[in-house]
Chain A
Amino acid sequence: MAAVTLSNVVKRFGVYEIIHGANIDIADGEFVVFVGPSGCGKSTLLRMVAGLEDISGGEIAIGGKVMNDVEAAERGIAMVFQSYALYPHMTVEQNLSFGLRMNGNPKADTERRVKRAAEILCIDELMQRRPKQLSGGQRQRVAIGRAIVREPQVFLFDEPLSNLDAELRVQMRVEISRLHKELGVTMIYVTHDQTEAMTLADRIVVLKAGNVEQIGAPLDLYDDPANRFVAGFIGSPKMNFLAAKVVETGDGAATIELVNHAGARFKKPLQTTPPAVGADVVLGVRPEHFFDAGQGDCDISVKADVAEHLGSVSYVYADAGDTELIIEREASRHRASGDHLVVSIKAGKALLFDTKGARIR
């Protein structure tokens, strides 16, 4: 077990810089998820921790030891790949033991480790099969088993669930969570799926275009995002963004008026100096933070387009003049398209951003 520290890590391909100095501290035994849209550099970062990519600048340390010039094999890590990367010409048992055999690990110890991994993942029955004869979920287990066998200090997962169907994905998510509790080992997990990040992580690292946007516990990111990108990326359905203007300031608060809803204004208490009167701002409201008319600080009227009924809740897609809003409603409230709907926003449940996307707290 070991802590992992990334200090000012930079990655360049030729003249093209794709990671711009990442600083991330991962505690021993912590489950950290790197999340971001494709092309944000999350997989590259993971492969740099693994030793599969050169580090162009900065340092990566595992267990206090700088690993920049250490071969992948010597870093005490194990990795699970998106494609599973099972050796197609070997049985499950041979897949699990390959690395140990190739490095002259004592036979008895190899067998013990393989047996333990098989038990943990319930794949004892499959030991003599080849990857081709396994289902997607089984392959995934074998891939994880191969990592367990190494008894690593750090587990690395590179989008391990993206090739599975929805149901299996949920099941494997739970299993990976359970595995983390059981082994208590540091895990770094890369995904583009914010749901996976929210459900698995102790802490999430949100990346965008090679920059770390925010690091924090899942609910902290959800409730208190540092910027508009994180606010929009974390949470499903996405946060709604409405154009607004500052119309009055004072008393450590700003009065905000929605641009496309004349008269819809409310006072938002702020900890920092409010923006100047007349400044354009963006208001962020999560779908579940639209309340019944009159129950919040300001009502707006919208036109319902489509309603999705999921059983426990319904999502109403509504036209709010400039943007489409997603509004969560209780299941029973049926809305036909074209209906007008009045919802209410609470100042305490709305986030404020400047036009560049930075949060105004």
Chain B
Amino acid sequence: MSSRSQARLGRSIALHLFLTPLALIWLFPLWMMVVFSTMPDNGIFSPGIELLPHDNFVENFNNLQRDTNFVGAIGISVSVAVTYTFLSVLLTSMAGWALARYQFVGKGVVVAIILGTITLPYAVVLIPQFIMVARDFQLANTWVALIVPPLFNSLGVLFMRQSFSMMPGDLFDAARVEGVKEWRIFLFVALPLARPMLAALAIILFLASWNNYLWPLLINSQPGAMTAPVALGTLIGLTKVSWGGIMAGAVMLTVPMLVVFVLLQRHFIAGIAAGAIK
């Protein structure tokens, strides 16, 4: 073996020796989530070290369902996330299209307002949003309250604007010359071409909605109107509660997203790397 390839091998071993323990530490909480979700409550609170899954998941889940209507909450979470994702992708891509592809009076102002307010913390709008939705519109504990206010997301608009402005303009002019109406150009030329970007955006938006906690906690606090994270959150800190059940809920919230992540990793990473949304 040449000294060159020996040096490479040495570097490679050092790399893996460093990265493997770090990766294991990073996976550990997720692993323990799964382990806890399969252990009986008296097992979780026992002095022994348990690192392998047991077979108590179903009973834990039944305990969870007894503590809170988790299946119902999951139903709300799924419906809200799907509706929100669809609407948000539609709204942001329409707006992004207009900003990328049309010249119009007031464009500079619209862009300036979006860019100028983008780094403001969400906390700033929380209170007026709450007052408006809960008191003025009387919409607390409804689906509309969960879906509509978070649609303001302007990072999505910037992401789609960027995507559309990178496409060759001739393509749309060609359709225009052929007499294709603008909304049909958007629907049948622009959107199909933006499919990878739309996929990335949709995944990120779905995840954001699925995991959203603070807003649903504030606006839909009534049992029966809670999303799954909120329902699960109400159990944390209660004294008489099944921790195995909470962990079963955590697994049910997390594992589907992990599967989506593995299957659609490319789009996922593209969406995050573009800074589409935090």
Contact = CB atoms under 8 A, between A and B. Distances in A.
A73 B178 CA distance: 6
Given A85-B168, A85-B171, A103 B179 contact: yes
Contacts, number: 69
A80 to B, nearest CB: 9
Given A50-B177, A73-B178, A83 B192 contact: no
A3 interface: no
Given A87-B189, A88-B193, A89-B193, A102 B173 contact: no
Contacts of A71: 179
B190 to A, nearest CB: 10
Given A52-B173, A81-B174, A89-B193, A73 B179 contact: yes
Contact of B177 (A77, A86, A87, A103): A77
A121 interface: no
Nearest to B103: A54
B177 A73 contact: yes
A74 B193 contact: no
Contacts of B180: 73, 98-99, 102-103
B184 interface: yes
A228 interface: no
- Chain B interface SS verdict (over half): helix
A146 interface: yes
A85 B173 contact: yes
B8 interface: no
A146 to B, nearest CB: 7
B170 interface: yes
B188 interface: yes
A79 B174 CA distance: 7
B174 A73 contact: no
B181 interface: yes
B260 interface: no
A329 interface: no
B130 to A, nearest CB: 44
A72 B177 contact: yes
A55 interface: no
A100 B184 CA distance: 13
Contact of A72 (B176, B184, B193): B176
Contacts of B174: 79, 81, 85, 87, 146
A88 B177 CA distance: 18
A150 interface: yes
Interface residues of A, number: 27
A147 to B, nearest CB: 9
Nearest to A99: B178
A73 to B, nearest CB: 3
Contact of A89 (B176, B177, B192): B192
Nearest to B195: A89
B175 interface: yes
* Contact-size category for B: 10 to 19
A46 to B, nearest CB: 11
Give the most central of B177, B178, B188: most A CB within 10 Å.
B177
A83 B176 contact: no
Contact of B170 (A74, A83, A103): A83
Nearest to A77: B177
B177 A52 contact: yes
A98 B192 CA distance: 14
A73 B179 CA distance: 4
A98 B178 contact: yes
A163 to B, nearest CB: 12
Contacts of A72: 173, 176-177, 179
Interface in A48-93: 50-52, 71-74, 77-79, 81-89
A285 B181 CA distance: 54
A77 B179 CA distance: 10
Given A85-B168, A85-B170, A79 B177 contact: yes
Nearest to B189: A87
A87 B171 contact: yes
A79 B173 contact: yes
Interface in B157-180: 168, 170-171, 173-180
Nearest to A87: B189
Contacts of A98: 175, 178, 180, 188
B168 A83 contact: yes
Q: Which of B168, B176, B178 has the most CB of A within 10 A?
A: B178
A79 B177 CA distance: 7
Contacts of A99: 175, 178-180
A2 to B, nearest CB: 16
Interface string B41-70: 000000000000000000000000000000
Interface string A99-111: 1101100000000
22 contacts: A47-B173, A51-B177, A71-B179, A72-B176, A73-B177, A73-B178, A78-B178, A81-B170, A83-B171, A85-B170, A85-B173, A87-B174, A87-B189, A98-B180, A99-B175, A99-B178, A102-B175, A102-B178, A102-B180, A102-B188, A103-B178, A103-B180
The 8 A-B pairs of least Cβ separation, nearest first, read A99-B178, A73-B179, A85-B170, A85-B174, A81-B170, A102-B180, A89-B192, A79-B177
Interface of A: 47, 50-52, 71-74, 77-79, 81-89, 98-100, 102-103, 146, 150
Given A71-B179, A102-B188, 17 more contacts: A47-B173, A50-B177, A72-B176, A72-B179, A81-B174, A83-B170, A84-B170, A85-B170, A85-B173, A85-B174, A87-B174, A87-B193, A98-B180, A99-B175, A102-B180, A102-B181, A103-B180
